[in-house]
Amino acid sequence: MPRNISFSMTTPQFIDGSKTVTRRMGWKFLKPGDVLCAVEKGMGLKKGEKVKRLGHIKIECVDFERICDIDQADVVAVLILLPMRLVKSPRHIMNT
C-alpha cells in the first residue's frame, strides 16, 4: 500500500488538477516512479474518523532546491494556492 501524503491545505486544487507541484521537507527518499496516496488529512484525526483518500499520484521528478533558488513565477503559483489567512498577498512575500 502506498504511503500517504496530505493535501489538507490544497485539497480543492488537488481535486481540480491545478496542483501539479508540491514541495516537502523530509521526503528525500522519494524517487521517480514512486506512488503515493494523496489524502485530505493525515494527522489529527478524531477517534473514529477515517482518512479520506483523494487518489494516487506517481512521482515524476525529485529535485532538491533551496528556497532562495525558486524563481518568482513559481513562488507566485505556489502562494496563490495557499489560503489567504496564511499569506496576505504574493507581493507581500516577494518584496521582503
Residue 89 or 60, more confident: 60
- Sequence-distant (6+) residues with CB within 8 A of 73 are none
β pairing state of 35-39 and 53-58: antiparallel
Q: What is the pLDDT of residues 76-96, one digit of tens each?
A: 666 554 444 444 444 444 444
CB atoms within 10 A of CB 43: 9
pLDDT of residue 13: 84
Q: What is the pLDDT of residues 3-43, one digit of tens each?
A: 999 988 888 888 888 777 787 878 888 999 999 999 998 88
